[in-house]
Amino acid sequence: MRARRTVLVTGASRGLGRSLAVAFASGGVDVVGTGRDEAALARTAALCDALPGSFAAHRLDVRDADALDALFDGLGPLDVCVANAGIAEQRPLAETDEEDLRRLLEVNVVGAFAVMRRAAAAMVAQGGGRIVPIASDAAYVGIPTMAAYVASKHALLGLARTLALELAGTGVHVTTICPGGIRTEILGEVSAAGDGMDVDDAAAAIAAVATAGPSIGSCELHLQPARSCA
């Protein structure tokens, strides 16, 4: 039995992905983190330097199939895959064109699909693991001025639900996280200074669920800021 677990986190260069990498490494997990910004990945690595786990950075765009193949070919046993990479834009639907929608779908849906498909194949072959798509409460409701983002998260949740059913009985679990507002810079100052959840608190909760034992099966976890649960 391996002494340490390995977790893949896509979009680990900033925001929730960076906090997830730190949370996992704080728990003694070896983290493989991907992102498009090499300098930002280096900052994530620096935050993990003195922690019990480790962080290995891979500059990668989840839309690049060849790069994903090379990454998974070199990974070895993988305990958890967190499909976190995503983008968001805010504008009224009437001002959103087809290219805007296509751009978000390529990252948030096609990219996540590509990561989850490869993780599923690897985990079935090894006899178990956990895939953790990061969706959003936007997967359940409409949000004015965020049509493309909402569409992408609805699609991601549908993919995750289907994958969970297809993997039943294989030892591979799919646990979809649907957080409400988190204070990150995904939408610039508006979201960074909002009244959402602290990003480190959200990451700690997600990391705890992601590394739960195999008796915790497929599920959807809806995280909300404390003010929404009063």
Average pLDDT over residues 117-142: 97
**Does residue 217 surpass a pLDDT of 80?**
yes
Q: Which two tokens stand for residue 61?
A: 């765009």
* Domains defined along the chain, listed by start: 6-229 (3.40.50.720)
Task: Evaluate if residue 138 carries a pLDDT over 50.
Answer: yes
Residues 6+ apart with CB under 8 A from 159: 109, 112, 113, 116, 133
| Annotated active-site residue in 24, 72, 113, 149 | 149
Residue 228 has pLDDT above 90, yes or no: no
pLDDT digits (tens, 9 = 90+) for 184-205: 876 655 555 567 899 999 999 9
For 57-88, the pLDDT digits (tens) are 999 999 999 999 999 999 999 999 999 999 99
Q: Give the mean pLDDT of 172-177.
A: 97
Single pTM value for the model: 0.94
224 close to 198: Cβ distance less than 8 angstroms: no
If residue 47 lies in a helix (H) or strand (E), which one and from where to where?
helix 38-48
Per-residue pLDDT at 187 = 63
Pick the range with the lowest mean pLDDT from 29-43, 75-89, 207-221.
Answer: 207-221
- Sign, CA torsion 35/102/224/215: negative
DSSP 33: E
pLDDT band, residue 1 (cuts 50/70/90): very low
Asked if residues 24 and 4 have their Cβ atoms less than 8 Å apart, the reply is no
Residue 149 annotated as catalytic? yes
